[in-house]
Structure 1
Amino acid sequence: MTTVVVTLHLLLVLSFTTRILLRDDLSPPGRLAWFIVLNVMPYFGVVIYFLFGEIDIGHRAIKRHKQIFADIKANAAEFMGEKASVENLIEPLYRPGFRYAGSINGFYTVPGNTAELMADDNATITRLIADIDAATDHVHVLFYIWLNDTTGRAIAQALIRAAQRGLTCRAMADGLGSRRLIRSTLWQDMHAAGVKLAVALSFRNIISTLLLSRFDLRNHRKITVIDARITYCGSRNSADPEFLPKAKYAPWVDIMLRFEGPVVAQNQLLFASDWIQATGEPLDAFKLNATATAAGFPAQVMGVGPTERRAATPQLFANLIASAETQLTISTPYFVPDATLLDSLCAASHRGVRVTLIYPKANDSWIVSAASRSYYHQLLDAGCIIYEFNAGLLHAKTLTIDNCVSLIGSSNLDLRSFDLNYENNILLQDSTITTAIRDRQQSYITDSELVELNTVLKWRYSRRIWNNIIATIGPIL
């Protein structure tokens, strides 16, 4: 009996080890992390690898995604921008980042956009509801987290009012992040009022999901499009800043921009790609518009996810970071970089760029918190400046470069946003909007504590060891 058990044990570990070695898409750190888990906790490790080890959303979903984007490129190319446009619209120093962003989905730089930075959370919801109430044709919304709270109900009721006026309203929510709303009477009320509903990455067939995919592949996007004329982009979900599921970390501090111009059509197409994937509704059901403002700025949409190429997000950030000449400021709630991103940040600081990083002091993920702080020594030693925000959970995902270029959206700087989540962002070149975002970043710094290298070096050995252990297995978290 003992021989049988040992033989089965060895076969189990050997088979999964062989699978890891055969994977060309796995980075060496990721492969090493799985080896550690399988050797330290073989049976638990096998189960975890089976559930989370491979980024595979399923062949049908990948095939369908390719078909959808082939249809978009064939029938909506005029709204996607032209590859050569970056040469005329973007300053030479920043062109590589815009070129790379365009290579991900085929959304290239389009001119004539305008944007307004929302003053705070209350201003955001007030303006958003006003825009929905003023809509005349359609309203499309997609949220990762949609709660049945004051904000969530306000948006739902605005959609109900719009649908009752005869508008086409499409509302989409992630199957995990918005699971409570999807099972609620509010969701049913929207359906009864005529709002078209869809669930992104549904759990309707949990067995199939577990066998053929990963249940933690999520749609993390936050997209609102109104009348093909207005779009909102930023970090805020359909939830109150108090964020009741994790109230002890509140308030959630977010940032949102309201855009008009040709970039709205690109966000519409990105929303449509998700909607078509979930419902099968044809592309020609979506209205597109590309009215430009003469004095507007160039911008483009960027969407990533498990059906796009791997490592697109860290490679985009590396291109943007490399273009910084004097200043680079980033805020993110979740920072678990890969080697590409970490080296880019350190290299920028070494060549004289003022690199400022802003993270929340208290994080709702203890794993991310420990992993993030394992990189502090290396970043500070390279000359980067780190602040920890202590007035709530800083959830804003922002990047500004040289008072000229900004990136805003849903992407965090962690491995989940890099490989597992569907994310949406807008990349733009404009000094006015970038200055406004920089001023907002400065307000975060005002409510933050400066992290100094001497402080990090004085951390207890136990804390440093724990942080480094978590960072070591970070590639599989």
Structure 2
Amino acid sequence: MPLDLLHLGPLVLLAHLLGIAAACHAILHTRTSQGAIAWAVSLVAMPYLTLIPYLFLGRSKFAGYADARRIENETLRSRAHPPEWDTRASSGGAPTDALGHSLVRSLTHLGGMPFLPGNTVRTLVNGEATFAAILDAIENAQHYIVVQFFIVRADALGEMLKEALITKAAQGVRIYFLYDSIGSFDLPHRYVATLRSAGVEMHPFATNRRFVNRFQLNFRNHRKIVVVDGKRAFVGGHNVGVEYLGAKPPLSPWRDTHIEVRGPAVASIQFVFTEDWYWATQQLHALEMPPFEAPTEGMHCLVMPTGPADRFETCSLFFVEAINAARMRIWITTPYLVPDEAVLSALRLAVLRGVDVRILIPSRRDHRVVFAASTLYAHDAVRSGIRVFRYRPGFLHQKVVLIDDVAAAIGSANLDNRSFRLNFEIMVLTVDREFAAEVHAMLMRDFAESFEIDRSEYKKAPAWRRIAMHVARLFAPIL
């Protein structure tokens, strides 16, 4: 026993010294004060349990990577022929009338892309409609296809996509396929090898090029993009897996929303993919876009790409501006409710202005810790006068923002810190009353199948559950 203690003592001391060193690193480099405190306290108090998680998840300020990514994006714009939209100012008229000149200016500067008129956007409700439309577009492709998903599975849906792409590659259609290396960690090598052997250029997106970043898992590409021939683009919440078709109990039926975009905004969406492709491969693909036209009719769209390489916290600021723009209603659907203080404050102020503020979240959980933290944030929101609903039928995964009766944004961003600061996301904001009415009707159907969280629900919860929710919220900066 004395010998065991003699050997154990130095190990314990080493663990605590490493914990203190890591805590100092967290204080210096964690982006939010809440995150710095959470990591520092846990690393000092429990280094045996938290050192390894911190190695993989601890960095939320990735300055070296962000600088490299930003420089490469600037290099890309200088090397590649700039898209026609990149030389034009934002469309006037509808966006300014609906949202105000100041908001249009801030959003276009924030995302680095203009509002463009002349688009048609339609909602694709749930997986069957989404993948039927995507596979139809792929079947009719003549020149090229770009595909990007966070999760790709080699299940029945994944096989359908693979066979469709192989068929088009055999017809001479160029195909570029990007998937996230962590989101698709279980994608078999044979799946990728089969597509590559068929002529599909397929690559993982990763942020750990250098050895110093080898263990970093925080910065993921959460975007879902499909573009066909520069004419049709698809953006939204669906990934490639049978669960997104509602075929995976107990989360089924799966509730999600995608959109199909046609018109000048397709070029903006495609350019977001091009930036990601250039980072992942260091190569520029040759994708021709249809001649740019500047119509005055049609829907006005703004593509909002966000990510950890941005100079600002673009995703969080986008939500803040969208909430501040609301005068009548702001309805948000999200699978994960872990907002930062800026977004929560904007929601509270909207309530004080008399805005109908609603948030729709799932009643079923796919991640225990995130669900517990979301529940506590939901109760905090309810106490502030925000109406929070839980969707009953199955898991709700859609990411939708409805602003009054004039605009709606749909894409991949959740209302959580991971989307705000750690993930690459894409949202498409459409200014059009008919489209906003379509989204309004869709969300009304969702609310009809939901129940509203009562203010007394938190008090009625068992003590152990309330404690669990508060513990889960400590991890909010990385959820």
Structure-2-length-normalised TM-score = 0.90
1:162 aligns with 2:168: yes
Alignment equivalent of 1:106, drawn from 102, 105, 112 = 112
SS of match in other structure, 1:395: coil
* Distance apart, 1:299 and its partner CA: 1.0
What residue in structure 2 maps to residue 54 of structure 1?
59
Contact 2:72 2:279 in 1 (8 A): no
Q: CA deviation at 1:193?
A: 1.9
Give the one of 388, 406, 409 matched to 1:407: 409
The alpha-carbon distance between structure 1 residues 148 and 48, as it changes in their structure 2 partners (threshold 3 A), is closer
1:116 aligns with 2:117: no
Deviations 1:9-44 (Å, cap 9, x if unpaired)?
554343233323333x62221122112212331233
Mark the runs of 5 or more structure 1 residues left unpaired by the alignment. Answer: none
Q: Is the alpha carbon distance of 1:45 and 1:453 closer, same or farther for their aligned partners in structure 2, counting shifts above 3 Å? A: same
Aligned to 1:68: 73
Q: Does 1:139 align with 2:139?
A: no
Provide the C-alpha distance between the structure 1 equivalents of 2:76 and 2:207, rounded to a whole number of angstroms. Answer: 24
Equivalent runs, 1:10-409 vs 2, <5 Å: 11-23=17-29, 26-55=31-60, 59=64, 62-72=67-77, 75-76=81-82, 78-80=84-86, 82-83=88-89, 85=91, 89-91=95-97, 93-184=99-190, 186-201=191-206, 211-212=213-214, 214-241=216-243, 247-282=249-284, 285-289=286-290, 290-409=292-411
1:175/1:4 Cα in 2 relative to 1: closer, same or farther (>3 Å)? closer
Separation in 2 of the partners of 1:322 and 1:89? 15
RMSD across aligned C-alpha pairs, in angstroms?
2.6
Shift of 1:474: 1.7
State the alpha-carbon separation in 2 of the partners of residues 209 and 8 from structure 1: 24
Contact 2:233–2:266 under 8 Å retained in 1: yes
For 1:56-115, what per-residue CA distance to the aligned partner results, in whole angstroms no more than 9, with x for missing partners? 668367425422334326731532364554577432644444433323441121111111
Quote the Cα distance in structure 2 between the aligned partners of 1:84 and 1:124. Answer: 29
What does residue 419 of structure 1 align with?
421
SS at match of 1:281: coil
Give the distance between the partners of 2:280 and 2:39, measured in 1 at CA: 33
Give the letter for the 1:308 counterpart.
D
Question: CA separation in 2, counterparts of 1:120 and 1:12?
Answer: 48
Distance 1:453 1:81 in 2: 51
Task: Provide the secondary structure at the position in 2 that maps to 1:214.
Answer: coil
Structure 2: distance between partners of 1:180 and 1:414: 25
In 2, Cα distance between equivalents of 1:446 and 1:88: 31
Give the Cα separation in 1 of the matches to 2:264 and 2:90. 16
Q: 1:108 to 1:55 in 2, by over 3 A?
A: same
* Cα drift, residue 55 of structure 1: 2.8
Q: Which 10-residue stretch deviates more, 208-217 or 260-269?
A: 208-217
Structure 2: runs of 5 or more not aligned: 1-5
SS of aligned partner of 1:411: coil
Instruction: Determine the structure 1 residue equivalent to 2:474.
Output: 472
Letter in 2 for 1:26: R
More off after superposition, 79-88 vs 189-198: 79-88
Aligned mates of 2:15, 2:207 — CA distance in 1? 35
Q: Contact conserved, 2:127 with 2:245, CA < 8 A, in 1?
A: no
CA displacement at 1:182 relative to structure 2: 4.6
Whole-angstrom CA distance in 2 between matches of 1:122 and 1:3: 59
How many residue pairs match? The answer is 471
1:448 lines up with 2:453 in the alignment: no
1:362 counterpart letter in structure 2:
R
Change (3 A) 1:3 1:190: closer
Amino acid of the structure 2 residue aligned with 1:52: L
- Kindly indicate whether the alpha-carbon contact (under 8 Å) linking 1:329 and 1:400 is maintained by their aligned counterparts in 2: yes
Query: Cα offset for 1:397?
Result: 0.4
Per-residue CA deviations over 1:413-447 (Å, capped at 9, x if unaligned) read: 11111122111111121111111112111121122
Of 124-133 and 352-361, deviating more is 124-133
Q: Is the 8 A contact 2:313 2:421 kept in 1?
A: yes
Q: Contact 1:139–1:225 (CA<8 Å) still a contact in 2?
A: yes
Q: Secondary structure at the match of 1:231?
A: strand
Distance in 2 between the 1:181 and 1:436 partners? 36
> 1:270, CA displacement in angstroms?
0.5
Secondary structure at the counterpart of residue 121 of structure 2: strand
Q: Is the 8 A contact 2:144 2:287 kept in 1?
A: no
Letter in 2 for 1:187: V
Worse overlay, 317-326 or 123-132: 123-132
Deviation at 1:398, TM superposition (A): 0.3
